[in-house]
Amino acid sequence: MAIIKKFRIKSFKNVNSVIEFENVSLSYGGRLILDNINFKINEGQIFGMLGPNGVGKSTIFNLITGLVKPKSGKIKIQSEEVTQYPIYLRTKKFKVGYVPQYGGYFNDLTLYENLKAISEIVIPNKNLRDERINFLISKFELDNLKDIKAKFLSGGQKKKLVIALSLLSDPKVLLLDECFAALDVLTIKMLQETIVKLQQENKITICICDHQARDLLACVDMAMILSNGKVVAQDSPSNLVKDINAKNAYFGESFKFN
């Protein structure tokens, strides 16, 4: 597959960190899942997390949103320590949007009704709701799907809907959990382009994770590899695939990118 980010942003001047993990560890039932994790996502970046199933990618999202708390370490959003902040505060104060791997919409509501229902929760000003919904419907070219129940949409259309739902509240940071999983090649390409547009046109900082490398590396600026609870490598896609630790822990010898 062609690289979506042909003009990958090489440097981020005067970078502000948007998400930062400092020595974060987490255990479930005595089992160490994340072991002293450190990483930083800079403003405006598309950042990728790669690692096998069960390594802790969704757990990292849960730590960012506040669904779970670390055993030790600090989590910062926009340089402010949020480790003890509840979910609603992180979402509201720092405008963090989240697109879960599964679901995230009401099956029996139409696409439009889904947008309307969530807009009523996240947009207090009634007059602005329709404006925002119409903007998103047009942005994602969902006009002809408005009256279809969400459960009858295709996988790619559902993903677009959930991303549109997450954008109702105008997030500054968007977390996408395995958003390419179980989608066909063309739909993945469409989503990759959507993600890059969100970065470039809407200036949203994006963090996506996947257990497979190719689709993710095609659209990120930076990525990290997780293995056995640790960050084993962190770099731009072109450097990462050459990294010896990344090869040993994740890519293997035969992986080729491009």
CA–CA separation, 19 and 35 (whole Å): 18
- Is residue 22 within 8 A of residue 73, CB to CB? The reply is yes
Q: What is the DSSP string of 82-102?
A: -TT--HHHHHHHHTEEEE-SS
Closer by beta carbon to ligand ADP, 51 or else 70: 51
58 binds Mg ion (CB under 5 A): yes
Residues between 54 and 93 with contacts to ligand ADP, criterion CB under 6 A: 54-59
Per CB under 5 A, 62 contacts Mg ion: no
53 binds, among ligand ADP, Mg ion, none (CB under 5 to 8 A by kind): ligand ADP
Q: Which is nearer to ligand ADP, 10 or 31 (CB)?
A: 31
- Residue 59's CB is within 10 A of a number of other CB atoms, namely 19
Q: How far is the CB of 54 from ligand ADP (least distance, A)?
A: 4
Report in angstroms how near the CB of residue 77 gets to ligand ADP at its nearest: 19
For the segment 18-57, give every residue that binds ligand ADP (CB under 6 A).
Answer: 28-29, 33, 51, 53-57
* Strands 46-50 vs 222-227: parallel, antiparallel or unpaired: parallel
Q: Which is nearer to Mg ion, 57 or 132 (CB)?
A: 57
Nearest to 20 by CA among 73, 89, 98: 73
Residue 66's binding partner among Mg ion, ligand ADP, none (Cβ under 5 to 8 angstroms by kind) is none
**Could you identify the residue written with the tokens 């160490």?**
32
> Cα(first)–Cα(last) distance of the chain, in Å?
7
**What is the crossing angle of helices 126-139 and 155-167, to 10°?**
140
- When asked if residue 227 is in the footprint of ligand ADP (CB under 6 A), the reply is no
C-beta of 51: minimal distance to ligand ADP in Å?
Answer: 6
Give contact residues for Mg ion (rule: CB under 5 A): 57-58
Give contact residues for ligand ADP (rule: CB under 6 A): 28-29, 33, 51, 53-59
